[in-house]
Amino acid sequence: MKKIELLPIGVVRESVLSPLKAKRQLKIEIEEGYKMALNHLDLFSNCLIFWMTDDGIHMEGAEVLACAPKRGSLNVALNTAWMPEGLLIDIKPYFPCEDQIREPNSGKNDSNLPHIIQNPSAYIRFTHEPIGKFVRHDNVESLKICSIGAVDFKTIEKKVRRGDHLSVIWWFDRFDKSEYRKLTMCNPPYPNSPRCGIFATRSPVRPNPIASTVVKVVAVDVEGQKIDVLGFDGFDNSHILQISPYVACDFLENRVPKWVDHWTPYKVFQTYEAVQISLESAQENLDTLSTLVASDLYVEALEPKVLLNEMKASDYPLNQIVLEGVKTHNLKGISLSIPKEKITTITGVSGSGKSSLAFDTLFAESQKQYMDLLMSNAPSQLAKIHSHVSKIHGLQPAIAIEQKSIGRNPRSTVGSVSKASDFLKQLYVTIGERVCPQCQRVIPEDLICETCGSVFFSMTPSDFSANNPEYMCPNCKGLGYDFQIDVERIITHPERSILEGASEWWGNLRKHREKPNANWMRGEALALAADMNEDLEVPFKDLSEAYKAQLFYGSNGRVVSLTYENSNGRKGTISRPVEGVFNTIWRLLKDSTLDNTMRHMERFLKKETCKRCHGEKLIEASRLVNIEHIRYPQALNLSVADLKRWCHAVYFNLSEEKKIKTKSIFIELLQKLKRLEEVGLGYLGLDRSVVTLSGGELQRLKIASQFGSDLSNILYIMDEPSKGLHPKDYKFLIESIESLKASGNTVVIVEHKKAFIDRADYIVEIGPGAGHYGGELIRAESQNRERVSDEGAIEEAVQGSVEGSVEGSVEGLVESENEFKFELTVATPHEQKAKIDWIEMNGAKTYNLKSVDFQIPRSKMTAVIGVSGSGKSSLVSKTLYPALCKKIGIMDVEQGQFNALKGVDHIESVDLMNQQAIGRNSRSTPATYTGVLDLMRVFYAKLDHAKAMQLTKEHFSFNSSKGQCDKCKGIGEIITPMHFMPDLYSVCESCHGKRYKPEILEVFYKGHSIADVLDMEIGDAKIAFEDVPQIFSILKMLDRVGLGYLKLGQSASTLSGGEAQRIRLAKTLVEGKLKGAVYILDEPTTGLQDTDVKRLLPIFKEMTDHGATIIAIEHNPLLISASDYIVELGPEGGHNGGYIMREGWMA
């Protein structure tokens, strides 16, 4: 453990005899920059002084005699007759509720106690070196003692018993940062308290973040060298500096400021058992919740009608956005006008230039003009950014709603994304009733429990934040679940020997045995086997139980030895106890903050609901706050629809005083909830993690959160907002878009769906082809919307999207009440099994699935269909996919819930192709991801000119310092950070966007440098390399899946989700992994017109003909009709979904 660094902040002058009894008087002088930290310390009668001498660091209680913040001086009186001079480290006010106990069981001046807990008086001495850490595990809080010199821990056990009290000094590591250690003033979290100097508070933010408290001993664990305690106030892994028997300070009085003089005059220790009793008692109020939710109470004032500002466009020229000479990317100098306060749809084939016009021109120019205005009087990098439009006039402030994910952080929830939980938190802060976790009594207004004396602080919304370290559950860190080590994930192949790869933990242990090195994580398995005469050639399942127990849990101190010799000749012998896999994993998880280490360890862990908070994520005091006996986590867990009803019922029953306090909060909360309900998410709870949502649910959540503003005269630019939505859900989206228009906004949509094209006022079509075959303006014209001007016409337009998109080519597709109906020919189970092999799953019940049984034909394409939220992703991505992964030995995928899985013996691989980005940064490109750039680098390095210049393949990598441009480091652009706006990119002036050093660009193949090739569209590069089979095969497949218009060197961050998915598909097809493979495709037709979809269908057919099994989650009727088999879920989303409606062969 690291040595703490103490910052001297004053001096302790020589002691003189005090006239007050036999006490010594001490004068402390504070350094200039810290004088104000003494402000209001004189309101306390006593304090704790920390100072440093050559003999160590000291702490002792003292009586405050005089305090002068302006002069930076403090006079105190001590009980100690001897007082060494030294350097001041810290001063803390003496709080009886923190430093004093009612019935001390410790305090014996026992000279036989080891030095670590010797305490002849209230005085404590310690050093810079931590002696241990505070740890939490399985709801037990412990002082883990790691370094106590020559002291035997068993000696401590004899002197410290259950019920004793100890004084603990520790270091607030979290606040050991320069920005915190400079502060001298703060606002204490005490009601009615003024701004104080930090020496008048117990805030961890101070020049030296030392803390002290009193704890109660629960148990002493000699083997684990830890003391289990109650009452420790620090964070997990806090460094312990000293522990000592509690000794009460002998003060004449304990005066504190008036704003805390009502606090309990002793420390209260809350037990975990008592807190759980309080929470179990609170669960009995669920009947009240059901009654409130079921009530039909409705308060009209809480949901006022929002009158849309019906703004009519005039014929004034400013009612248009005029663009001239647009040459962004592949656009060929097009000119057009877009009407304001109207809905414009931009359509065209994939790669034609739609996004280039909408996002890279309209949105980018809006951002640039806005920043030009803000920085008009300051030097700006914006002038260096080249504009790709000759003239643009009438542009409005723009908001882009792109296909990019709203985030997949497990801490992000429906409530946090929609902001609804912010108002629910404020509601509980305003009128929530607090309950003491210790004694189950309501806490009065003075915030002191009348029964046990526990002191509470005023609530803020942070009390209900699972992301705030002070209020998150200390066990699961606010996630609601905990990780447990899973033996099945460690030993994935028990039928193999440990030498032959029974576990990924040890890897190739045979190679390590033949050439051992100092890697003890592997070596301990060999050393233990040698010590126990264990034969490692047998299957792991046949090893002795004694060996496996010690391999997992350690040798309990018994030393084993391993002799090794490295390849460089270094040799040696390691002798130490076996730590065991379980202990090693926990140690690495506790000690490491590296993401790679965490990801590696998570492969061996499984999730379980947190045993302390039971999935409610918060500390006990926050979980018990209630309104009408309904606790905050319970309200958060309600569906949006039920929460709306609960809000009305609660408000109706409030007193007039509370109604006045909360009316505005209720209105804001209900507006957010109404928006979620309008987009069809009324079945979700606000605490639902976004990670668990389907693509359609994520899209609707994004719409609800981004459309719900009252702005006007804004340009909204949307990229395929229908992504992930079933046609049944189009209606709410069309109405949301039209409400934006009615509020005086301009809406530009990039879309393919006929329903949205028909509802547009203006149509812009870009084409005719993709890449350099596109970029032309095919048409820009108004369309007559009289025929679709009412609600019935919206239904008609939506229905038309089904019929128009398949152009009459799908037989058996019938439209009924805006739902897809397929005529399915379903054979009997006996006939099916006789004809084909099946993957069968029984009892799937992940999320909203209702314990369903289903089957998937192997070597066929199955479409899984249903409305958004019906359970498609839960069934396929969250249940079947993890189960198949486990079957083939991939253990780092969280398992869903099901009873049985059959027919998977011959499956060799499984691949989930979703729409997540390829690569992690702007350096990732289609060329790097598919591996074609590696082949090109080798190819260019073998050219005669490259050999003459002694260039290697590393020189042709823009990620290598040998070849990359020295200025932009191979990016081709210079990034200008904009802080509160997205970063801006300008072409590198040194390499002009080529990424490479000039000499690298002197090597040509067919007149093209490697930079020229990266700037080519894939279709053109395919022609250039038709004589190089390996390179050509990859480029040909990328072209076949409809990506011929992409540039090889295009940044992965600019690709849509659908493009990223098709790049993955092309890479897989080139690798030839088909027979025995299962491919799960999540909406593979996203962003594609029907002509593009038709290009994919023959590829899917080839895959199944060669033995691949394809499972596609889809809404597109063209792909559905081309499938062999259908599984349909429904009938609705959320709680009303999760049933298998139909399954069978397509007609």
Per-position DSSP letters for 418-467, written without gaps between them: HSHHHHHHHHHHHHPBPB-TTT-PBP-TTSB-TTT--B-PPP-GGGG-TT
- Determine the average pLDDT of the residues in 773-778: 92
* pLDDT on residue 804: 37
SS3 category, 1013? helix
What 3-state class would DSSP assign to 197? strand
pLDDT at position 738 over 60: yes
pLDDT of 1007 above 90 = yes
Residue 1146 belongs to what H/E stretch? strand 1139-1146
Within a domain: residue 274? Answer: no
- d(CA 903, CA 841) in angstroms, rounded, equals 9
Does the pLDDT of residue 271 top 80, yes or no? no
User: pTM (2 decimals)?
Assistant: 0.76
Pick from 358-367, 398-407, 764-773, 774-783: least confident: 398-407
How far apart are alpha carbons 482 and 477 in whole angstroms? 9
Look at the alpha carbons of 732, 734, 737, 741 in this order and tell me if their dihedral is positive or negative: negative
- The number of helices, as runs of H, and strands, as runs of E, in the chain is 35, 45
Structure confidence at residue 101 (pLDDT): 86
Classify strands 389-393 and 762-767 as parallel, antiparallel or unpaired.
unpaired
1049 and 1064, same domain (yes or no)? no
Q: Report the relative pairing of strands 715-719 and 746-750 from DSSP bridges.
A: parallel
Buried residues in 381-404 as b, exposed as e (16+ CB within 10 A): ebeebebbbeebebbbebbbbbbe
Look at residue 221 and tell me if it is in a domain: yes
Instruction: Pick 249 or 938 by higher pLDDT.
Output: 938
Query: Cα separations (Å) of 432 from 78, 416, 445, 760, 986?
Result: 45, 20, 12, 48, 53
Tokens, residue 460? 């803020």
Q: Is 390 part of a structural domain of the chain?
A: yes
Residue 794 in this model has a pLDDT that exceeds 50: no
Average pLDDT taken over every residue of the chain? 83
Torsion of CA 969, 971, 973, 974, to 10 degrees: -40
Mean pLDDT of 214-240: 87
Give the three-class secondary structure for 975. Answer: strand
Structural domain contains residue 975: yes
pLDDT of residue 278: 56
Q: In this structure, are 828 and 754 located in the same domain? A: no
- The pLDDT tens digits of the residues spanning 943-969 come to 999 999 999 999 999 999 999 999 999
Crossing angle (nearest 10°) for helices 656-678 and 640-653: 160
Q: Is 761's pLDDT higher than 90?
A: yes
Mean pLDDT score, 418-444: 91
- Residue 283 pLDDT grade (very low, low, confident, very high; cuts 50, 70, 90): low
Task: Using the 3D structure, point to which of 1001, 1032, 1054 is the last residue of a domain.
Answer: 1054
726: domain CATH number?
3.40.50.300
The answer on 214 and 81 residing in a single domain is yes
Token duo for residue 709: 């503003």
Residue 997 sits in a domain whose CATH number is 1.20.1580.10
Whether the CB-CB separation of 30 and 5 falls below 8 Å is answered with no
Q: What is the DSSP string of 239-304?
A: EEEEEEE------S-----GGGTTS-SS-----HHHHHHHHHHHHTTHHHHHHHHH-----GGGS-
At 328 the three-state DSSP class reads coil
The token duo for 838 is 């099946």
Average pLDDT score over residue span 1088-1108: 89
CA distance 996 to 1014: 11
CATH number at residue 576: 1.10.8.280
- Among 34-43, 914-923, 1120-1129, name the one with the lowest average pLDDT: 914-923
Q: What is the pLDDT of residue 803?
A: 38
**Which band of pLDDT confidence, cut at 50, 70 and 90, is reported for residue 865?**
very high
Between CA 1109 and CA 1100 the distance in angstroms is 9
The torsion angle over the Cα atoms of residues 296, 301, 305 and 307, rounded to 10 degrees, is: 180
* Pairing status of strand 1125-1130 against strand 861-865: parallel
* pLDDT, position 440: 82
Cα–Cα distance between 999 and 276 in angstroms, integer?
71
Is residue 346 situated within a structural domain? yes
> Is residue 738 one of the residues assigned to a domain?
yes
Burial of 707: CB neighbours in 10 Å, binned 0-12, 13-18, 19+:
buried
In whole angstroms, give the CA distance from residue 88 to residue 81: 19
pLDDT at 791 over 80: no
Give me the pLDDT at residue 276, please. Answer: 62
| DSSP percent split of the chain into helix, strand, coil, nearest 5 | 35, 25, 45
Residues 18 and 134 in one domain: yes
**How many Cα atoms sit within 13 Å of 597 on the Cβ side?**
11
pLDDT classification of 316: cutoffs 50, 70, 90: very low
CA distance 1137 to 858: 26
- Taking residues 823-832, what's their average pLDDT? 52
360 shares its domain with 241: no
**Residue-wise DSSP of 30-69:** E-GGGGGGGTTGGGSSEEEEEEEETTEEEEEEEEEEEEET
pLDDT over threshold 80, residue 176 = yes
Give the integer Cα–Cα distance in Å for 492 and 604.
10
CATH number for the domain spanning 87: value is: 2.40.30.70
Q: Is 900 in the same domain as 926?
A: no
- On the CB side of 737, how many CA atoms lie within 13 Å of its CA? 30
Mean pLDDT computed over 456-473: 90
* Mean pLDDT, residues 103-112 taken together: 47
Percentage of the chain beyond pLDDT 90 is 38
Same domain, 590 and 630: no
Pairwise CA distance, residues 816 & 571, whole Å: 78
Encode pLDDT of 1131-1143 as tens digits.
988 788 999 998 9
Contact in structure between 247 and 107 (CB atoms under 8 Å): yes
pLDDT at res. 1024: 93
Q: What is the pLDDT of residue 65?
A: 92
Q: Can you tell me the distance from the alpha carbon of 862 to that of 1127, in angstroms, rounded to the nearest whole number?
A: 7
What is the SS3 assignment for 1143? strand
Residues 222 and 73 reside in one and the same domain: yes
Is position 316 within any domain?
A: no
What pLDDT is stored for residue 287 in this prediction? 62
Inside any domain, residue 298: no
Buried b (16+ CB within 10 A) or exposed e, 69-83: beebbbbbbbbbeeb
> What pLDDT does residue 122 have?
56
Same domain? 187 vs 252: yes
Domain boundary among the residues 581, 604, 627 is at 604
Q: Are residues 193 and 222 in the same domain?
A: yes
Instruction: Work out the pLDDT band at 977, boundaries 50, 70, 90.
Output: low
Tell me the pLDDT band of 518, cut-offs 50, 70 and 90.
Answer: confident
Confirm if 543 and 534 have CB atoms less than 8 A apart. yes
Determine contact, residues 667/675, Cβ cutoff 8 Å: no
667 and 730 part of one domain: no
Looking at the fold, whether 81 and 169 belong to one and the same domain comes out as yes
Most confident of 365-369, 690-694, 815-819, 935-939: 935-939
Report the number of distinct structural domains present in the chain.
6
User: Of 303-307, 565-569, 807-811, where does mean pLDDT reach its minimum?
Assistant: 807-811
If you average pLDDT over residues 694-708, what whole number do you get? 79
Write down the pLDDT at residue 793.
45
**Residue ending a domain, choose from 724, 751, 782:** 782
| pLDDT confidence of residue 1086 | 79
SS3 1118: helix
Phi-psi region of 597 (alpha: psi -120 to 50; beta: other; left: phi over 0): alpha
The residue among 480, 917, 401 whose CA lies nearest residue 692 is 480
Task: Tell me if 971 sits within 8 A of 922, measured CB to CB.
Answer: yes
- The yes-or-no verdict on residue 1032 having pLDDT over 90 is yes
* 3-class SS of residue 807: coil
pLDDT at 797: 44
* Tokens at 876, concatenated: 């396929």
Cis amide leading into 768 (omega within 30):
yes
Q: Which two tokens stand for residue 733?
A: 């989206």
Tell me what pLDDT residue 388 has: 82
Closest CA to 78 of 59, 57, 95: 59
C-alpha torsion sign, points 462, 465, 467, 468: positive
Mean pLDDT is highest, among 595-599, 868-872, 1031-1035, for 1031-1035
Is the pLDDT higher at 438 or at 953? 953
Q: What are phi and psi of 931, to 5 degrees?
A: 85, 0
Find the mean pLDDT for residues 979-1007: 84
Instruction: Show the tokens assigned to 103.
Output: 């019935």
- Containing structural domain, residue 219: 10-103+122-260
Residue 1000: is its pLDDT beyond 90? Answer: yes
Closest CA to 1049 of 936, 951, 886: 936
**Using an 8 Å Cβ cutoff, are 59 and 212 in contact?**
yes
pLDDT of the residue at 312: 42
Strands 1077-1082 and 334-339, how do they pair?
A: unpaired
* Tokens linked to 991: 């390499």
Residue 860 tokens read as 């066929």
Spatial distance between the Cα atoms of 440 and 450, rounded to a whole number of angstroms: 11
Section 475-498 average pLDDT = 86
C-alpha count within 13 angstroms, C-beta hemisphere, residue 571: 4
